[in-house]
Amino acid sequence: MQSILNESNHRKYNPGNERIVKKYLEHVRRTKLADNKTLLALRKYLRAFEVLTDFQDLDRYTPDMAKVFLANLRQQSVSPSYMHRITSETQKFIRWLADEPFGRRIRRNDADYLTLTRNEINRANASGYKPHHEYSQLLHAVRTMPAQTVTDLRNRALVALVILTSPRVSELCNFRIDTIMQDPLVGAYFLDINPRKIKNVKFCRARQVTLLNIPDLRQFVLDWRDMLVNEYDFDKSDPLFPKIATNPFQLNIFERNVKAQPISVCTANQIFNGACVANGLAPLSIHSVRRTRARHIENITHDDRIVALQQDFGHSSIGTTRCNYGNITPSRQRELIAGIKVE
């Protein structure tokens, strides 16, 4: 997209289009509750559409404009997934425009002229091999991490919790002291992920994630949490993984005025990558550990009961069976996950 939005194109401007796009972004913000990052991405897509149609008036969109746009887009050095995203988002914009008074010349189905070919869509949706590390590799990495300073202890606890729960990195950075809980019935520890507690995370959904039964890694996390509470007066709403001041003259090592601040997604991934690279592993994102967890559970579980129910009930998709009949109680879920042995 950078080649499309180059410096010369930045200087071009269509005042009418700017007013229309501003109204659309406000519509998306209010009706879709979109965050600023999403709105910025939409603005860039629509800006690219303007560039590739030579800044013609958006409220005079025609199928011929779509033809010009697609022809020019295919000449750009962009990925298939980007082509799919920009055409999909522009179609949504055109359909919105057709419903507005200033877009009365446009028909909603005119947006269909922005559709990619089937081959282009297949390339955009193609999923190649996604690498992940084995648990044995990750366990060795976290167990050899330094533990001399407060920063060391935080970083080790973070990597340990990633291995134990495979969270989304955006959620991980916003975990609070009270996110870690213990089931009184089975004794297993779990993460109470709740959108009411975890703020500013786009796709956060309420759920409970049980820690794998790896005692030393679990203790890394619990010791870190307890240190924050007992030695640094953190309360239950403070971040589990706070920023740590780099200024040696700052009295409080945690970057806080009234409340400690959570680390960034970038920092969290750097911590995880640092642990991997230090052990000769390829630098992968925290998200890759979700594939590690899925592969491990896939190898040790085989739920014939769900398959039997699917066949018995005549469901075309096993997802329907799992969704409606595959649930177990939270305590049983934690008991099963906590019983998984990782060597």
Higher pLDDT, 145 or 287: 145
Alpha helices by DSSP H, listed for 167-264, are 169-172, 215-232
The class of domain 7-125 in CATH terms is: mainly alpha
pLDDT attached to residue 249? 45
Helix axes 150-165, 265-277, angle to 10 degrees: 90
Distances 39 to 32, 198, 279, 282 between C-alpha atoms, Å: 10, 21, 39, 33
In the structure, what pLDDT confidence band is assigned to residue 9 with cuts at 50, 70 and 90?
Answer: low
What are the two backbone dihedrals, phi and then psi, of residue 133, each rounded to the nearest 5 degrees? -90, 155
In the structure, what pLDDT confidence band is assigned to residue 248 with cuts at 50, 70 and 90?
Answer: very low
The class of domain 135-298 in CATH terms is: mainly alpha
Q: Residues 212, 216, 217, CA angle at the centre, nearest 5°? A: 50
Higher pLDDT, 8 or 280: 280
Higher pLDDT, 303 or 209: 209
Question: Is pLDDT of 298 > 60?
Answer: no
Domain regions of the chain by residue span:
7-125, 135-298
pLDDT attached to residue 337? 80
What secondary structure letter does DSSP report for 34?
Answer: -
Q: Give the rounded distance of the alpha carbon of 240 from its chain centre.
A: 19
Give the DSSP per-residue string, 48-82: HHHHHTTT--GGG--HHHHHHHHHHHTTS---HHH
The rounded mean pLDDT for the chain is 85
pLDDT attached to residue 104? 80
* 308-322 confidence digits (pLDDT tens): 545 544 557 777 666
What are the two backbone dihedrals, phi and then psi, of residue 80, each rounded to the nearest 5 degrees? -60, -35
Distances 225 to 4, 170, 181, 312 between C-alpha atoms, Å: 47, 19, 11, 48
Query: Quick one: which H or E segment has residue 209?
Result: strand 207-210
Q: Rounded to an integer, what distance in angstroms lies between the CA atom of residue 258 and that of residue 239?
A: 13
* 253-282 confidence digits (pLDDT tens): 665 555 688 999 999 999 999 999 999 999
Q: Give the rounded distance of the alpha carbon of 54 from its chain centre.
A: 34
Mean pLDDT of 224-229: 96
Mean pLDDT of 87-109: 93
Helix axes 80-98, 63-73, angle to 10 degrees: 160
Q: Rounded to an integer, what distance in angstroms lies between the CA atom of residue 161 and that of residue 240?
A: 11
Q: Residues 174, 180, 186, CA angle at the centre, nearest 5°? A: 155
With beta carbons less than 8 A apart as the criterion, state whether 191 and 240 touch.
no
Question: Is pLDDT of 99 > 50?
Answer: yes
Alpha helices by DSSP H, listed for 57-149, are 63-73, 80-98, 118-125, 135-143
* 43-73 confidence digits (pLDDT tens): 999 999 999 999 999 999 999 999 999 999 9
Higher pLDDT, 208 or 63: 63
pTM above 0.85, yes or no: no
Alpha helices by DSSP H, listed for the chain, are 7-10, 15-32, 36-52, 63-73, 80-98, 118-125, 135-143, 150-165, 169-172, 215-232, 265-277, 288-300, 304-313, 318-325, 330-338
